C-alpha cells in the first residue's frame, strides 16, 4: 500500500453503518493494485445524520465516488445531480460517480445479480421469474431483470410493512416499462405453486435463511421445485441456505448470493475506473 498511494491517488468511500465487517475495501483495493490503478477505497461509519456532509465531501475533496449501504441507499438519492434509469425506478442508490463535481447515483445490485446468472451460463431473457421478497434487494433485481428483457415477474411478499410500499413501486415500474409484474401474497400457496411452475427461475430475495433465520426457508415443500428450475438466493452466508439445499436435492441448478455481491462491486468498479474488475482472481483471493 505504501508504494501504491501517491499524491495523485483518488479516494472512493463506502458510507454505511455498521460497516467495519465489509469485504468491499479488500475487493476494490486488491483490484486497483492488480490493475495498477491509482485509487484507494476506504470505509467510513456514516449514518443518516452524517450522510449529507459525507456526500458533500465527495465534491469538496474531489473524490471519484462512493458506495452506499444501510441505512443510506434511499436517502442519498435526493443529494444526486443525476440518477441512472434503474436508480430512479428503485428510489435507491448504492454507487455514486463524481464527474468533475457532478454526482450521478447508480444501483448496481440488480446488475450484479443478472451478471451472476450470465457467469453461470443462465439466460432468463423473455422467460418468467418468481421472486420471494419485495425489499431493497428484490426491487433492484426485478428492475434490472425488466431492463434486460425478462418476460414476466411474479413477486411474492408477506403482508408486512414492505407489501404496501412494494405495491406502489411495482405499479410505477409496470407503468414505466410495460413489463408484466405482479405482486402476490406469500400466503397464497396455490398461486405460488402455479407461478413457480411457469417460471425458469425462483429467487429468494429475503433474509430468510441467514442469521437470525438461518436454517429456515420460505419454501419447504420440495414438490414446488423441479429439476429444470434455477433456484437463486441473495444470501451468501451461509453459502448454502436451507432453500438451496432443498433445491439441490431436487436436482435444480442453484446459485448463492456471492456472484451478486461480486457482480455489484464489479459494476461499480467499472463505473469509477472504466475497467473490468479481475473477478476470477478476486473470487479466488477473498472467498
Ligand atoms: P429489506 O429489509 O429491504 O427487505 C427484506 C425483505 O425480506 C422484505 O421483502 C420482507 O418482507 C422480507 N422478509 C423479512 N423477514 C421475513 C420473514 N420472516 N418471512 C417472509 N419474508 C420476510 O432487505 P434487503 O436489503 O432487500 O435484503 C434482503 C436480503 O438480501 C438480506 O439477506 C441481504 O443480506 C441480502 N442482500 C444480498 C446482496 C448480495 O449482493 N448478495 C445485496 C443486497 C442484499
Q: Report, as an integer, the average pLDDT of 30-57.
A: 97
Local confidence band at 1 (pLDDT 50, 70, 90 cut-offs): low
* CA dihedral sign of residues 263, 278, 121, 259: negative
Cα 134 to ligand 1 centre (Å): 8
- Distance set, CA 124 to CA 120, 127, 131, 225 (Å): 12, 5, 13, 17
Average pLDDT (13-27) is: 96
Query: Is there a binding annotation on residue 135?
Result: yes
Query: Which one of 48, 59, 73, 169 is the catalytic residue?
Result: 73
140: CA distance to ligand 1 center in Å?
Answer: 11
pLDDT attached to residue 287: 82
Tell me whether 0.90 is exceeded by the ipTM. yes
Taking Cα atoms as reference points, which of 65, 69, 54, 59 lies closest to residue 24?
Answer: 69
Does 48 qualify as catalytic in the annotation? no
User: Does pLDDT of 3 surpass 80?
Assistant: no
Task: Write down the mean pLDDT value for the chain.
Answer: 96
Is 70 exceeded by the pLDDT of residue 2? no
Mean pLDDT to the nearest integer, 139-165: 96
31 assigned ligand-binding residue? no
pLDDT of 244 reads 98
User: Above 80 in pLDDT, residue 274?
Assistant: yes
Query: Which residues lie below 8 Å from residue 86, measured CB to CB, with a gap of 6+?
Result: 106, 107, 110, 111, 140, 143, 144, 147
The verdict on the CB of residue 90 being under 6 Å from ligand 1 is: no
pLDDT for the residue numbered 4: 81
* Structural domains of the chain in order of their starting residue, each with its CATH number: 10-106+260-286 (3.40.50.10860), 110-255 (3.40.50.720)
Residue 223: all three cell numbers together: 414438490
The per-residue pLDDT for 286 is 86
Residue of 23, 207, 216 to mutate, ligand 1, most atoms within 8 A of C-beta: 207
Q: In which element (H, E) is residue 182 found?
A: strand 180-185
Residues 6+ apart with CB under 8 A from 168: none
How far is Cα 90 from Cα 44, in angstroms, rounded to an integer? Answer: 24
Atom 37 of ligand 1: nearest residue by CA position:
234
Q: What is the pLDDT of residues 178-236, one digit of tens each?
A: 999 999 999 999 999 999 999 999 999 999 999 999 999 999 999 999 999 999 999 99
Q: What is the C-alpha to C-alpha distance for residues 4 and 32, in angstroms, rounded to an integer?
A: 9
Span 223-250, average pLDDT = 97
User: Any known ligand binding at 257?
Assistant: yes
Which residue from 119, 135, 209, 261 has its CB within 8 A of the most atoms of ligand 1, so it is best to mutate? 135
Kindly state if the Cβ of 65 falls inside 6 Å of ligand 1: no
Q: What's the pLDDT tens digit per position in 48-94?
A: 999 999 999 999 999 999 999 999 999 999 999 999 999 999 999 99
Q: How far is the CA of 36 from the centre of ligand 1 (A)?
A: 36
Amino acid at each position: 500500500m505504501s508504494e501504491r498511494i501517491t499524491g495523485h491517488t483518488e479516494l472512493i468511500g463506502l458510507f454505511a453503518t455498521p460497516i467495519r465487517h465489509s469485504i468491499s475495501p479488500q475487493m476494490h483495493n486488491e483490484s486497483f493494485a492488480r490493475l495498477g490503478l491509482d485509487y484507494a477505497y476506504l470505509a467510513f461509519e456514516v449514518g443518516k445524520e452524517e450522510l449529507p456532509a459525507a456526500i458533500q465531501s465527495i465534491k469538496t475533496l474531489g473524490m471519484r465516488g462512493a458506495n452506499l449501504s444501510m441505512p443510506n441507499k434511499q436517502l442519498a438519492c435526493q443529494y444526486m445531480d443525476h440518477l441512472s434509469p434503474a436508480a430512479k425506478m428503485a428510489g435507491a442508490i448504492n454507487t455514486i460517480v463524481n464527474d468533475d463535481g457532478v454526482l450521478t447515483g447508480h444501483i448496481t445490485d440488480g446488475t450484479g445479480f443478472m451478471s451472476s446468472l450470465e457467469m453461470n451460463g443462465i439466460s432468463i431473457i423473455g422467460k418468467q421469474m418468481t421472486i420471494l421478497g419485495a425489499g431493497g434487494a428484490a426491487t433492484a433485481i426485478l428492475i434490472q431483470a425488466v431492463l434486460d428483457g425478462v418476460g414476466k415477474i411474479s413477486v411474492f411478499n408477506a403482508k408486512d410493512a414492505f407489501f404496501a410500499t412494494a405495491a406502489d413501486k411495482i405499479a410505477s415500474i409496470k407503468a414505466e416499462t410495460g413489463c408484466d409484474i405482479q405482486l402476490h401474497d406469500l400466503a397464497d400457496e396455490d398461486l405460488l405453486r402455479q407461478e413457480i411452475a411457469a417460471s425458469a427461475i425462483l429467487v429468494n430475495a429475503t433474509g430468510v435463511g441467514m442469521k437470525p433465520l438461518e436454517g429456515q426457508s420460505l419454501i419447504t415443500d420440495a414438490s414446488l421445485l423441479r429439476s429444470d428450475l434455477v433456484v437463486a438466493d441473495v444470501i451468501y452466508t451461509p453459502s448454502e441456505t436451507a432453500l438451496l439445499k432443498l433445491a439441490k436435492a431436487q436436482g435444480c441448478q442453484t446459485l448463492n448470493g456471492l456472484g451478486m455481491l461480486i457482480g455489484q462491486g464489479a459494476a461499480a468498479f467499472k463505473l469509477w475506473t472504466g475497467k473490468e474488475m479481475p473477478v476470477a482472481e478476486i473470487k479466488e483471493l477473498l472467498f
